[in-house]
Amino acid sequence: MLASLSRVIYRFCMIALAASCTAVALPAAAQTPQRGGTLNILSISAINTLNPAIQSGVATAMPGSQLFASLLESDADWKPHPYLADSWEVSKDGLAYTFHLNKNAVFHDGKPITSADVAFSLETVKQNHPFGPAMFASVARVETPDPLTAVFRLSKPNPALLLAVSTPALLPIIPKHIYDNGPIRSNPRNNSPVGSGPFKFVEYKPGEYLVLERFDKFFRPGRPYLDRITYTIMKDPSAMTLAVSRGDIQYVAYGPMRLSDVDRLAKQSNLMVTNKGYEGVGTLTWLAFNVRNKPLSDVRVRQAISYAIDRKFITEKLQLGRSKPAYGPIVASSPFYNPSLNHYDLNLDRANQLLDAAGFPKNAQGVRFPLRLDYIPANIDSSQVIAEYLKPQLKKIGVEVQLRPSPDFPTWSQRVSNGDFDMTTDIVFNWGDPVIGVARTYMSSNIKKGVIWSNTQGYVNPKVDQLLGEAAVENDAAKRHALYNDFQKIVNEELPVAYLLQVPYQTIYSKSLKNVPLGVWGAFAPFDDVYWAKAPG
């Protein structure tokens, strides 16, 4: 794998001038960003699509945030700033958001970015993104009074709208003239996109690498500073660690390596390790249940499994004390978090009582029923290791777990999104506001076959639909808090998923890399301001 990486880097170094792969070192006192150099980023998984308008997930969002632009961007204090939109206004009643686009912005094929593209992008996300329907349910239409003005007309207030348009991972501006010619999910340009962001597509070899290069007509003059970004797809944790240690990889986000290796890399003087840049995503690991199928359709079975899980062991031993237990659908750092939920502390007696009451006695071999257990093929410590722990742990209550690994993300995604699973470990984001990243998992209207990170559990509760619908349009913070409190109590009891832990993500990057995005979106922010202070390595 390292040899393959070296070939990729060498190949693209030969294409450009020698300076393309090694930036000129800066004098110690210099602060002016320098142009040039290649940034090599680790990709955690095979990339299913490069179009974030139709796919969520790190593998798509990281390169997608460089290929496409969002209307705004957010800083470390959650404050929105101009990006593709130079300015914006919100009406007094909160039902109209007017965005004024940068007049120099063009797509990578040279065609102007217009308000019609913004309207098309919004509708595409609303219809195709895993949580587009919940995120933009209140947007009735986008008006285009002129090519540089897009007016979002809302049927009801949306307190999360400015946050939702501040990263390409949630609302990338895609070209209507490229994608408005048939079903977007089968469009061949999804994996060779014409983008709107600071870097343009060069080449993608599935399972190996992706190469982007500077877009010289980017609407921010003089940016981006880097010549090129390469994403190298690696599966072997040992090879990942060696590549980072040697400087072959200079940026890693979303923790694909083992936690013990992260600790070791943190001791290297040339590397920076930080947990900043994940505030916007708010990540949970949970055990998802296919509630459409027996025996998991019985809430007592789901509760029994949750009582059989030792979260303290997972966080303190398997996660080396880096993570904290999770007890509900909203992360503890959120202002809407409910601290009074049932923790489902380890209680095997209670678990066995529930299974007996549900009518699933143990047979002569001590087995009540078998269940398949899938796990997302990335971030070993927060997915695979937990699945391997659950197999013997659930045997203690008579559940015979059959582990079913997936060779890559697309395989796992296809299985889970099409309901071909019993249970799966999963790593899921809150995305800053429950409207964006929480509601999509629980709303019955978001049960979508073939769409990962939608309501893949098949969970239906009209009361939950009502609470989430009301909270999505409530501008009063106290009232929103009360609505989300009630929602959390219900799903904490009914458990369409068993909540396990809050993921301890870390970003690792070369200290020679400057202006690394550490705002609330981290790796899902544009890298147009990133530059090399001196040659990597």
The matching CATH number, chosen from 2.10.109.10, 3.30.70.2860, 3.30.70.120, 3.10.105.10, for 283-502 is 3.10.105.10
**What's the confidence (pLDDT) of residue 29?**
40
Contact (CB, 8 A) for 247 and 269: no
2-275+506-532 and 283-502 have identical folds: no
Domain boundaries, the chain: 2-275+506-532, 283-502
pTM above 0.85, yes or no: no
**What's the confidence (pLDDT) of residue 24?**
34
Q: What is the largest CA-CA distance in the chain?
A: 76
d(CA 437, CA 255) in angstroms, rounded, equals 20
> What is the DSSP track for 406-436?
-SSHHHHHHHHHTT--SEEEEEEE-TTSHHH
Per-residue pLDDT tens over the stretch 40-53: 999 877 788 999 99
**What's the confidence (pLDDT) of residue 478?**
94
Mean pLDDT of the chain: 91
**What's the confidence (pLDDT) of residue 536?**
54
DSSP H helical segments within 314-454, as ranges?
348-357, 384-395, 409-417, 434-437, 439-442
Q: How many CB atoms lie within 10 A of CB 99?
A: 22
**What's the confidence (pLDDT) of residue 335?**
87
Give which of 531, 503, 509 is closest to 253, Cα–Cα: 509
**Fold designation for 2-275+506-532:** D-Maltodextrin-Binding Protein; domain 2 (3.40.190)
Per-residue pLDDT tens over the stretch 404-421: 999 988 899 999 999 999
> What is the DSSP track for 65-126?
HHHS--SEEE-TTS-EEESSEEEEEE-TTS-EEEEEE-TT-B-TTSPBP-HHHHHHHHHHHH
| DSSP type of residue 318 | I
> Which residues in the chain come in under a pLDDT of 50?
1-30, 537
**What's the confidence (pLDDT) of residue 21?**
35
Contacts of 167 (CB under 8 A, 6+ apart): 65, 70, 73, 74, 280, 521, 524, 525
